[in-house]
């Protein structure tokens, strides 16, 4: 039997990190068992589904690198199949037409609430058959009235639900469109899904889905319901806690592997290991190591992980992601040093790729002005002369590299009887427009002789106009 899992998002918004974690766990499980991972877009809610949301899901999956073996399938392409199954259920007596009006159902509900009963359909049309009437009926599934349904949940353990707790759910609306529980069941059955891994907000649907599968004589998949992800205040993670969409994490400068590593640890653990390569995740992942209780999203920890990946990852890989951010800032990375060298220079001090991209702008374009505070501190009387001397000395350097540049700065400081800072700080401001940069010799080496000398010239003119 091929292990088959699926990720089945409804395209009604962005790809939420909670959804991404569900996708990751389903992907990991399939990859670990040499199985198949399917992407299925559940777009039957025609009013709420949008193309932009479908695009966001596909883009998110691609950015995360969660490749699927089949799909994307679209449920809207399966309407005929759902109709066929609904007809089958009607024909075998496991479904029936229901003509109860909205008003009638509302009244029933009010009465049940008043009697402190759980609101549920009372089965009035269960035995009346199809009637010749003006109103279009809905179709309900005939849920068994006796007995229990046991979910052998791979995360939560056995969950037992009495059938008398479940009412006859609608499987086709009056306009003929099928409802969620029906479409999921049909697709899971047709796609031979062996493991349904999804958020535990669906746990209430599972006994109903099992009953429909049983009515269809279908094999049951195994279920694993993942606990919710909460914000720091204990409420379900949402937009008001900050970034929750996968693409927003990209925009904010996270590497996909850092986000995946963070997500895998959110509700799953393997000893106290924090950092996992994708291969390690596949190797160690087990559904029975998933926590039963909800987990809290911790931005600080994600940021820490991102920094780890930026510091230790493959430089060419990081450069490729950085390149996208440079593009976002309107920079053509070919108009300056190789991005791989920028990564090497800035990785220790950049927690995100946005920080790295912003901190490397001066390599690619002239900055707009000098940072005011740094000007007061470093462009002081006489600093123009220090810079003029530096200009001459640097002009004479034959082989332009960090070591040679370093020597020039040290020698000049010594010759002028100044400490290093008095030389390096005005130089730094001249080159970067601010008082912070990585080691100045490395910065100059990467910037190149031409840009270095012209920026020193600019700074000298600027200082002379100041005083
Ligand atoms: N389409 C459902 C959702 O986005 C998921 C259905 C499932 O995984 O069974 O919540």
At 29-63, the pLDDT tens digits run: 999 999 999 999 999 998 999 999 999 999 999 99
Q: Which residue has the least CA distance to atom 6 on ligand 1?
A: 8
CA torsion 180→186→188→194, rounded to 10°?
A: 130
pLDDT at res. 239? 84
Q: For residue 233, is it within any domain?
A: no
Shared domain for 279 and 351, answered yes or no, is no
Shared domain for 290 and 421, answered yes or no, is no
The CATH number linked to 271 is 1.10.1160.10
The CATH number linked to 190 is 3.40.50.620
Dihedral sign computed on CA atoms, order 204, 207, 212, 218: positive
Cβ within 8 Å of residue 104, ≥6 positions away: none
Shared domain for 405 and 432, answered yes or no, is yes
Pocket test for ligand 1, best of 42, 191, 195 (most atoms within 8 A of CB): 42
Mean pLDDT across 384-400: 97
Dist CA 7 CA 20 (whole Å): 9
Q: Which residue has the least CA distance to atom 7 on ligand 1?
A: 8
Dist CA 380 CA 376 (whole Å): 7
**Token digits of residue 31:** 């990859």
At 177-205, the pLDDT tens digits run: 999 999 999 999 999 999 999 999 999 99
Shared domain for 91 and 122, answered yes or no, is yes
Shared domain for 10 and 95, answered yes or no, is no
Q: For residue 199, is it within any domain?
A: yes
Q: Please identify, by atom number, the ligand 1 atom nearest to the C-alpha of residue 199.
A: 8
CA distances to 210, 258, 359 from 338, rounded to whole Å, are 57, 23, 15
Backbone φ and ψ of 96, nearest 5°: -150, 160
Q: Which of 96, 228, 100 is nearest to 168 (CA)?
A: 96
Pocket test for ligand 1, best of 9, 41, 236 (most atoms within 8 A of CB): 9
| Residue 467 pLDDT greater than 70, yes or no | no
Cβ–ligand 1 distance for 208 under 6 Å, the answer: no
CA distances to 150, 226, 354 from 198, rounded to whole Å, are 17, 6, 32
Helix (H) or strand (E) holding 36: strand 36-41
Helix (H) or strand (E) holding 114: helix 102-114
| Residue 132 pLDDT greater than 80, yes or no | no
Shared domain for 216 and 161, answered yes or no, is no
Shared domain for 392 and 416, answered yes or no, is yes
Q: For residue 245, is it within any domain?
A: yes
Cβ within 8 Å of residue 322, ≥6 positions away: 333, 339, 342, 343, 353, 356, 357
Shared domain for 304 and 318, answered yes or no, is no
Q: Which of 222, 234, 220, 258 is nearest to 353 (CA)?
A: 258
Helix (H) or strand (E) holding 151: strand 148-153
Cβ–ligand 1 distance for 226 under 6 Å, the answer: no
CA distances to 313, 325, 410 from 269, rounded to whole Å, are 22, 32, 51
**Pick from 151, 172, 193: which residue ends a domain?**
172
At 229-278, the pLDDT tens digits run: 999 999 999 888 887 899 999 999 999 999 999 999 999 999 999 999 99
Q: For residue 177, is it within any domain?
A: no
The CATH number linked to 419 is 1.10.10.350
Q: Please identify, by atom number, the ligand 1 atom nearest to the C-alpha of residue 7.
A: 8
Given the residues 130, 164, 219, 239, the one annotated as active site:
239
| Residue 462 pLDDT greater than 70, yes or no | yes
pLDDT at res. 240? 85
Cβ–ligand 1 distance for 198 under 6 Å, the answer: yes
Cβ–ligand 1 distance for 256 under 6 Å, the answer: no
Mean pLDDT across 321-332: 98
Looking at every residue in the chain, the average pLDDT score rounds to: 96
**Token digits of residue 195:** 């493991």
Measured between alpha carbons, how far apart are the two ends of the chain, in Å? 82
Pocket test for ligand 1, best of 202, 206, 228, 236 (most atoms within 8 A of CB): 202
Q: Is 205 in contact with 135 (CB distance < 8 Å)?
A: no
**Token digits of residue 74:** 């679209």
Q: Is 183 in contact with 208 (CB distance < 8 Å)?
A: no
Q: Please identify, by atom number, the ligand 1 atom nearest to the C-alpha of residue 209.
A: 9
Shared domain for 324 and 288, answered yes or no, is no
Alpha carbon of 201 to ligand 1 centroid (Å): 9
Shared domain for 274 and 297, answered yes or no, is yes
Alpha carbon of 302 to ligand 1 centroid (Å): 26
Q: For residue 15, is it within any domain?
A: yes
Q: Please identify, by atom number, the ligand 1 atom nearest to the C-alpha of residue 19.
A: 4
Q: DSSP of 405-429, one letter per residue?
A: HHHHHHHHHHHHT--HHHHHHHHHH
Shared domain for 263 and 215, answered yes or no, is no
Pocket test for ligand 1, best of 178, 199, 204 (most atoms within 8 A of CB): 199
Shared domain for 197 and 245, answered yes or no, is no
Q: Which domain holds residue 209?
A: 4-70+183-228
Cβ–ligand 1 distance for 43 under 6 Å, the answer: no
| Residue 338 pLDDT greater than 70, yes or no | yes
The CATH number linked to 96 is 3.90.800.10
239 is catalytic: yes
Dist CA 113 CA 120 (whole Å): 10
Q: Is 171 in contact with 179 (CB distance < 8 Å)?
A: yes
Cβ–ligand 1 distance for 42 under 6 Å, the answer: yes
Q: Is 143 in contact with 212 (CB distance < 8 Å)?
A: no
Q: What angle do CA 360, 361, 365 make, to 5 degrees?
A: 135
Q: Is 68 in contact with 98 (CB distance < 8 Å)?
A: no
Alpha carbon of 224 to ligand 1 centroid (Å): 13
pLDDT at res. 134? 76
Q: For residue 371, is it within any domain?
A: yes
User: How many structural domains comprise the chain?
Assistant: 5
Q: For residue 147, is it within any domain?
A: yes
CA torsion 65→71→73→78, rounded to 10°?
A: -160
Cβ–ligand 1 distance for 202 under 6 Å, the answer: yes
Q: For residue 178, is it within any domain?
A: no
| Residue 453 pLDDT greater than 90, yes or no | yes
């Amino acid at each position: 039997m091929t292990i088959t899992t699926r990720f089945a998002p409804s395209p009604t918004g962005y790809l939420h990190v909670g959804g991404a974690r569900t996708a990751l766990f389903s992907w990991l499980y399939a990859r670990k068992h040499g199985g198949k991972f399917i992407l299925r877009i559940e777009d039957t809610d025609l009013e709420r589904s949008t193309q932009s949301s479908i695009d966001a899901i596909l883009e998110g999956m691609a950015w995360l690198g969660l490749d699927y073996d089949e799909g994307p399938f679209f449920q809207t392409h399966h309407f005929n199949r759902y109709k066929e199954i609904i007809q089958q259920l009607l024909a075998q007596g496991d479904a029936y037409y229901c003509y109860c009006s909205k008003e009638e159902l509302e009244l029933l509900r009010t009465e049940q609430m008043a009697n402190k009963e759980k609101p549920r359909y009372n089965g009035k049309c269960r035995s009346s058959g199809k009637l010749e009437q003006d109103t279009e009926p809905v179709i309900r599934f005939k849920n068994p009235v006796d007995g229990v349904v046991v979910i052998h949940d791979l995360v939560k353990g056995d969950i037992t639900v009495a059938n008398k707790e479940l009412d006859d759910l609608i499987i086709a609306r009056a306009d003929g469109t099928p409802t969620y529980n029906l479409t999921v069941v049909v697709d899971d059955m047709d796609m031979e899904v062996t493991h349904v891994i999804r958020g535990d907000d669906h746990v209430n649907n599972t006994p109903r889905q099992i009953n429909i599968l049983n009515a269809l004589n279908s094999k049951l998949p195994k279920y694993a319901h993942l606990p919710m992800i909460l914000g720091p205040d204990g409420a379900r993670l949402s937009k008001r806690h900050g970034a929750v969409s996968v693409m927003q994490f990209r925009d904010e400068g996270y590497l996909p592997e850092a986000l995946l590593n963070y997500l895998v640890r959110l509700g799953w653990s393997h000893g106290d290991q924090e950092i996992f390569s994708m291969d390690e995740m596949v190797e160690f992942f087990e559904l029975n190591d998933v926590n039963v209780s909800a987990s809290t999203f911790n931005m600080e920890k994600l940021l820490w992980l991102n920094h780890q990946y930026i510091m230790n990852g493959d430089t060419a890989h990081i450069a490729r992601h950085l390149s996208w951010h440079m593009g976002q800032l309107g920079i053509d990375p070919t108009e300056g040093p190789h991005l791989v060298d920028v990564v090497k220079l800035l990785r220790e001090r950049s927690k995100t790729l946005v920080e790295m991209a912003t901190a490397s702008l001066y390599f690619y374009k002239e900055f707009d002005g000098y940072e005011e505070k740094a000007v007061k501190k470093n462009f002081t009387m006489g600093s123009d002369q220090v810079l003029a001397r530096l200009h001459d000395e640097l002009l004479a350097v034959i082989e332009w590299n960090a070591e040679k540049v370093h020597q020039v700065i040290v020698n000049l400081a010594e010759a002028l009887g100044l400490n290093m800072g008095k030389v390096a700080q005005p130089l730094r401001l001249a080159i970067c427009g601010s008082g912070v940069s990585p080691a100045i010799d490395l910065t100059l080496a990467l910037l190149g002789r031409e840009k270095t000398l012209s920026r020193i010239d600019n700074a000298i003119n600027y200082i002379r106009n100041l005083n």
